[in-house]
Structure 1
């Protein structure tokens, strides 16, 4: 049994925010999503933040919670539309759709509590480089030729997962399970939409990094070699240096 704290502007209690909680054996307390309510907030194992209706207020509350030294996992409860807005900057340990089943809610809560109890662990390389693309898994950032890419939370998670498995083909169902969760109800069309958005953000020169395998799914196709940075020729010579190399001073 976990101690759960729900912050919500709704008046219908925990079952209105996340109906599955009514079928689970957790101790749940509900407080209004207001700064004053956080001062005397009871201790909890997980804070669930209701971000279903007002995403602006939810993001502000996330910042406030982290500014006051939140030490337990923060989980956002969202509608499907909210998934396209949330980024790593919100500081959420996980996301839950309001329609999530009791089994999914139980599994996700258990995992975030266990991870929090273990503390920081070494999950392997935090930075992954693939040609012009660099992924910082710890900082939830992606850069293309040194420039940051503006990604939503799920776009980043999908890109990171594909980059971590270069050349491996995943079906839409596999990606849905690994990135969205085994009990996500959005359907495999969600994967296609996110891949299309990722390709658009990567741009025409790099959209081919995410390859389509017809009638199967998608894979990350790493480039054979990185492209030179603007103004630099292969081998590290700048265009300016190349242009001036070998010139002799004019005769006086």
Structure 2
């Protein structure tokens, strides 16, 4: 059973989502108390979260930020139509994906399935559950990495992006390729999504993110992990 949490205060939207998933192998819950749900997320009670960016009592971006302090659970953020800046903000605050209202529930379902496929398995052949590359230690089962013995907290998409780059050293991937490989063919996304995730990843693994030594840019082509 896949457990999905909906953080939204619009009953009609919630009912539409729950109706679309009622015949699937999902359990949908709606949150009423933010503090209580943060405890449930910390206890790993959910597999994925659908989070409205504009809530009446609390800012959705702030909730996303609070969740990211202790959890890498996948988050899909719902933002207003035509407000691209809020989509970028959602990614900056740690969301894995964004969907603008109004949206087709079938598209939401496709995105959820794509995220869950990628969090349940590793798409790299012949990888050990735990291995080291340079001073990075990667745990593919726990989906965790550490650098010089210090744990680095990555979101699901950040981990997938890092794993793809580090296991293909010196191979340049353009943004479209990264969208397809990390977000899947179902993802109808903006290429800027890749740039935001690369920037966030650099901020977490690089000593100086403005002068990176690991994840580099091949100008006019794409991104790659530099093998030392």
Q: Same fold (TM over 0.5)?
A: yes
- Residue 220 of structure 1 corresponds to which residue in structure 2? 225
Distance change (3 Å), C-alpha of 1:112 and 1:197: closer
Q: Distance in 1 between matches of 2:35 and 2:165?
A: 30
Q: Alignment partner of 1:208: what SS?
A: coil
- Residue 151 of structure 1 corresponds to which residue in structure 2? 154
Q: Which runs of 5+ in 1 are unaligned?
A: 29-43, 67-72, 224-252
Select 2:213's aligned residue among 208, 213, 219.
208
- Residue 13 of structure 2 corresponds to which residue in structure 1? 16
| 2:4/2:47 contact within 8 Å kept | no
Q: Distance in 2 between matches of 1:140 and 1:91?
A: 9
| 2:175/2:191 contact within 8 Å kept | yes
**1:1-252 counterparts in 2 under 5 A?**
7-8=5-6, 10=8, 12-13=10-11, 16-17=13-14, 24=20, 26-27=21-22, 45-48=25-28, 57-64=36-43, 66=45, 74-78=47-51, 81=61, 90=71, 92=73, 94-98=74-78, 99=99, 101-108=104-111, 124-184=127-187, 187-201=190-204, 202-204=206-208, 207-223=212-228
Distance change (3 Å), C-alpha of 1:5 and 1:211: closer
Q: Distance in 2 between matches of 1:173 and 1:105?
A: 21
Q: Distance in 2 between matches of 1:114 and 1:159?
A: 17
Q: Which runs of 5+ in 2 are unaligned?
A: 54-60, 79-98
| 2:136/2:148 contact within 8 Å kept | yes
| 1:84/1:153 contact within 8 Å kept | no
Alignment RMSD: 4.3
Q: CA deviation at 1:178?
A: 2.3
Count, aligned residues: 192
Q: Alignment partner of 1:170: what SS?
A: coil
1:127-175 CA distance string (max 9 Å, x none): 2422112221212221111122233333223212211222221111221
Q: Distance in 2 between matches of 1:162 and 1:114?
A: 19
Q: Alignment partner of 1:169: what SS?
A: coil
Considering only CA atoms, is the larger Rg found in Structure 1 or Structure 2? Answer: 1
